Amino acid sequence: MSSRAGSIVVIALVLTAAGCLAAWIEADRRSSRRRALRLFPLPHPNMSSQPFSGSGPGPSSGTARFFASHAAHAGPCLVSYRFIRASDLNGQPMSQGAGFGPNMGPFFLGLQVLNDRQGAMSYKLDLSSLRAVDDTGRTMLHRQSAGDSMWPITGGTIYSQWMESPGPHATGLTLIEGAISVDDHNGLQHTFPFRMENVPLPNTLRIFGQAASIRISDADVYNIPRGFSIIAGEDAEAILDRSIPAKTSPLTSPQRLLLGPDKPVRMNITPEANSHEFSIRADLGSCGSLIVRASSSGLAQTVRVWDGEPFILVAPASAFGSRVASAMRLSRDQWLPDAGVFRAPFLAEPGRPGGAISSEVLVDGRPFGRAQLSLQMWALRDGRWAGPELMRALTDRKGKFVIPNLHPGEYRIVYQIDNLTAYFHQGEAPFTTGAYLLERFGSRAGRWAGVKIENIMVRSGQKCECKPLEWVSASAATEPLLSIKQP
């Protein structure tokens, strides 16, 4: 082989290796992004309807459960809200799943204390300093009881302490405060105060959420205003796809959020002590929306988001050019049922792989969001159409759904569009599909396309992608309405 030919081979190998390395880096980046932004699933429906209020996986778990919306640094420790659990009048915790009436009575307050200097110093919650104030102005002190307890978790300790009753009409704790006593390696004791604000009580409507700290990609850094910013909608989705996770402690991931309607809380872009701080509140909007207001460094912004839709709070630009942000989702519901069909017909034979049909609901090319819809389905069997079988389906936040485990063959589908509705959330007044189309998409009139789908071929072990059911506006959509529905 000539030296020139050998050089060409070497160059080709180098370029191939570089291409493989670039592909691997991109795949790892996307995988890492998915790991960070696979925002934690809301609690399983079989758990108590109160957030982590039972004696099972919620409060007594041996792992950290970090509420970023109610957390405070106290010296070397990070203190956060963990749970509120029902109590009897004698200071004993109620059985798992016990709920609260309109007047709560005494309760157990769960606090989580994480120590980022494990082994370097000992710490404990100063019980004499623990108190809370509700939104009627009543002050509640800790009262020692036989039900008080503490137990270790990975990286810290859980304290469950009996508290006096809130006011008869209280719906939230406007203040929780106390102190952590820390003994350093010289035997000297130091006291570090902490405070949290606006923890909603379990006897009222609450807004649940999830957050993940991210680092904005270089491609997006200079397209975002340098000040504190909120980004929602398709822009947020695109930025998330190009972002990478920010480095945070595994003890504070995932980050949970718990808000009372229109009650502000103070948070950090990341859970670290020196991270940028901001204030955020969410109020109930109409047709499944939430009105989010956030402020930082004298700058305030308001954005309307839809239940489960991601949005991003971006910290002001630093001198170094990199931008960190908090990606969030909020929901009226503590848990949401999985997207899919409630009863799939024409099932595959037992022991044999079936196929699947997937589709989506769109509005002028944009995802409809979570919806409930009905459809009729026929299957071709031995030259004759069997059916129709009536099904109900629930779409995900991008309007997608799947009909699984179908017998291979040919199918046809007809949507019952009069039964299509946007998903209703807890505590929400009913609304029409027309109102939803107007408020979310600004569409006043139009028609449904793709109501009937023919010649759907389902093959064993494969998923058939069907054309979408799509609302086509009669004219250009107007700007969506911005209205706030008071709770």
CATH number, domain containing residue 134:
2.60.40.1640
In the beta sheet, which residues pair with residue 5?
none
- For residue 230, give the DSSP letter: E
Q: Which pLDDT score is estimated for 483?
A: 36
Residues 196 and 213 in one domain: no
Q: Which pLDDT score is estimated for 92?
A: 87
Residues 452 and 345 in one domain: yes
Residues 285 and 221 in one domain: yes
Q: Which pLDDT score is estimated for 187?
A: 77
Residues 72 and 200 in one domain: yes
Residues 346 and 438 in one domain: yes
46 alpha carbon, distance to own chain's centre: 18
Q: Which pLDDT score is estimated for 61?
A: 58
In the beta sheet, which residues pair with residue 38?
none
Residues 463 and 391 in one domain: yes
Q: DSSP readout, 450-485?
A: --EEEEEEE-TT-EEEPPPEEEEESS---PPP--B-
Q: Which pLDDT score is estimated for 480?
A: 52
- C-beta atoms surrounding 477 within 10 Å: 18
Q: Which pLDDT score is estimated for 7?
A: 52
Residues 81 and 188 in one domain: yes
Q: Which pLDDT score is estimated for 317?
A: 82
Range of the domain at 359: 340-473
Return all residues near 322 (Cβ < 8 A) that are at least 6 apart. 215, 216, 221
**pLDDT tens digit sequence for 131-178:** 999 999 999 999 999 999 999 998 899 999 999 999 988 999 999 999
**pLDDT tens digit sequence for 88-130:** 888 888 876 666 766 788 999 999 999 866 555 689 999 999 9
Residues 212 and 197 in one domain: no
Whether residue 63 contacts residue 156, with contact meaning beta carbons closer than 8 Å, is answered with no
313 alpha carbon, distance to own chain's centre: 14
Phi, psi (5° rounding) for residue 238? -65, -40
Q: Which pLDDT score is estimated for 319?
A: 64
298 alpha carbon, distance to own chain's centre: 27
* 314-484-333-86 Cα dihedral, nearest 10 degrees: 100
For residue 109, give Cα distances in angstroms to 83, 90, 112, 169, 199. 6, 15, 10, 19, 11
Q: Give the angle 273-200-82 at the CA atoms, nearest 5°.
A: 50
Q: Which pLDDT score is estimated for 329?
A: 92
Structural domains in the chain (count): 3
Residues 190 and 245 in one domain: no
Whether residue 286 contacts residue 431, with contact meaning beta carbons closer than 8 Å, is answered with yes
**pLDDT tens digit sequence for 6-28:** 554 444 444 444 444 444 444 44
**C-alpha distance across the termini of the chain, in Å:** 81
Residues 377 and 272 in one domain: no
Q: What is the pTM of this model?
A: 0.80
Q: Confirm whether 24 is domain-assigned.
A: no
Residue ranges in the chain modelled with pLDDT below 70: 1-62, 96-99, 101-102, 116-121, 319-321, 336-337, 340, 476-487
Is residue 262 classed exposed, middle or buried when 0-12, 13-18 and 19+ CB atoms within 10 A define those classes? middle
Q: Which pLDDT score is estimated for 249?
A: 86
